[in-house]
Structure 1
């Protein structure tokens, strides 16, 4: 991949990802539950990753060729700028991605190490044992599929985690709470695990690592995090009458956490983030008043997910023609070298949609753009980088 091709790839993917995120957010406003909105965000992150694979591994259509009418002198100037910009942007992106990946891996290592320091809690010693067994599910027979309850005195707010098996970690002081308050917490954290929020968070972190420079990706992360908490808040209460007690439980955890230092890297915390807590409190208050969040128009979660995937298919075909060196004689980009080589190994010969490769010199392409009479002129001098 040349520097001009990378520039075109980065610009096109950034636009595609922005459109997909906007569509996912808009469709999320039309589904009839917060749990379905969470699933929609999971599909959104999967679609974003698929757009990357499609862009890197497959050819893409070129619906218009704006550089076909540019004269050779201006084309040469633009190409020189694009080559320099492409190289600089590639190294900036590579440095940022490397740093983001290292931070991601370090935080995962921190969580794993923290879990090793936690103490196992036997629910049978507490009044909420039956409730935990019920919420955990009697149908879960495999030991590694059952949720393990841990506690720590270094923790100020509960959280859940799932590497090779699911965990719920609570501060030691919460074990002395009343049974109904602990049940609120357990319902909330179990909803995170049952709806696959750790997997969604992993996909979110992968997208953030690749598109660390994209403001829409970070905005989507905030929206999906808020939606996850909304969904778990709904699962934690059985009726609107319990909302006041649930809010008091949340307030108690916040008050205690404000006076203590949290030493844990909690990815799915129960009460972390002041702005998120304020949004959750306002929404729960609205539910207590109206019993249900009203929407002017609703669609099913399946229709929303299918619409998002269909939109992504269409968006994936939109490719901004940034690369001046792209041949105006072809309506498709060339097969990338890695996939073309793999297809040849399996006996398939992909069509060569373009005539130039990374070994083609710039002056040869510019000569092809010039009229035949000018090209045969004795005064014509080839342009070189």
Structure 2
């Protein structure tokens, strides 16, 4: 991949990501159901994955060629500037992605060390936990949920990489059964609705697109919506909502440390305030068939927006509507005897040596004159 292609990808990604996420924010605003909102954000991050694949693996549509009428001297200056900018952006992206990925791996290792250090519940306590919630919540896929004892300052939370875990402090295990059922239903709903997988996809794309602030802002919003989904699963009427709110407050008061990369019942005081206000307002929790269909629109939008590419590359040929195929994709297709164009079509006006020769000729003519 050349510096010009990399510059085109980065700048075009910035535009494409903005369009996909702005559309997702608008869709979420039009919906009432927390489940539909959550599906919108899941679709939005899948859409960002589509942008990533389309940019790196497929040729790019060229709507117009603004460089064809520019003088060789100006075009060579543009080429030199874009070469430097493209190299600089590549170094910055690698550096930023390495930092984000390193932090993610560090937290992953820390969390797994913590899991190995925790004590599982005995059979009696485990059976009590399972009797406080619906039976279908206690099994994720074909795996039974593993219950572990967490420190008091961490509070209750859940986690899943392969095995689903729910972590519960001693004070909660020895406390009120109603309070316990609220917490269990909240955490088990996270696991049942595949929130850990959604968070994994989100974190991967935040690593790839670390440079775009809207990706991080949308990730925070998606996390809050996932909490809304679990809040709704834990309440069914005004009476249970009131007791659930009291449970939220008590859990947050007892918890001192937030859990990065996990699902805790109350992560920050700001989130808790938003969740409490929403529950007290008694928002409509129903999800219509229409909202199910609407929530898939970010994926369709991403497919369309993935064809919007800024005409950054001054050496791109105007002889084709599409750029060449990326080398890694072309090599893979050639291995299956599928012929694709992995080279730029020849065009004298955009050949670097031709441009340099024309500039030299122009300079010589001026000196002779």
Which runs of no fewer than 5 residues in structure 1 stay unpaired? none
Query: Does structure 2 conserve the Cα–Cα contact (< 8 Å) formed by 1:122 and 1:149?
Result: no
| Mapped partners of 2:365, 2:338: distance in 1 | 42
The residue aligned with 2:257 is 262
The residue aligned with 1:318 is 308
| RMSD of aligned alpha carbons | 2.7
Residues 361 and 236 of structure 1: CA distance in aligned 2, closer, same or farther (over 3 Å)? same
Cα deviation digits, residues 4-55 of structure 1 (max 9, x gap): 1100010111111111111122222334521222222122212211211111
The residue aligned with 2:103 is 103
Pairwise CA distance, 1:130: 1.2
| Mapped partners of 1:137, 1:57: distance in 2 | 41
The residue aligned with 1:134 is 135
Query: Does structure 2 conserve the Cα–Cα contact (< 8 Å) formed by 1:340 and 1:350?
Result: yes
Which runs of no fewer than 5 residues in structure 2 stay unpaired? none
Cα deviation digits, residues 121-165 of structure 1 (max 9, x gap): 136347554124635357x794xx111111122543211111111
Query: Does structure 1 conserve the Cα–Cα contact (< 8 Å) formed by 2:138 and 2:188?
Result: no
TM-score (norm 2): 0.90
> Which region of structure 1 is more displaced relative to structure 2, 186-195 or 308-317?
308-317
Matched residue count: 363
Query: Does structure 1 conserve the Cα–Cα contact (< 8 Å) formed by 2:315 and 2:351?
Result: no
Cα deviation digits, residues 153-185 of structure 1 (max 9, x gap): 254321111111101011221112200001000
Pairwise CA distance, 1:2: 1.0
The residue aligned with 1:347 is 337
The residue aligned with 2:164 is 166
1:366-385 aligned within 5 A:
379=364
- For the residue of structure 2 that corresponds to 1:330, the secondary structure is coil
Residues 268 and 301 of structure 1: CA distance in aligned 2, closer, same or farther (over 3 Å)? same
The residue aligned with 1:175 is 173
| Mapped partners of 1:264, 1:278: distance in 2 | 18
Query: Does structure 1 conserve the Cα–Cα contact (< 8 Å) formed by 2:157 and 2:168?
Result: yes
The residue aligned with 1:280 is 275
- For the residue of structure 1 that corresponds to 2:322, the secondary structure is coil
Residues 366 and 31 of structure 1: CA distance in aligned 2, closer, same or farther (over 3 Å)? farther
1:188-199 aligned within 5 A:
188-199=186-197
| Mapped partners of 2:116, 2:134: distance in 1 | 23
Structure 1 runs of 4+ with >6 Å offset: 374-378
Pairwise CA distance, 1:363: 3.1
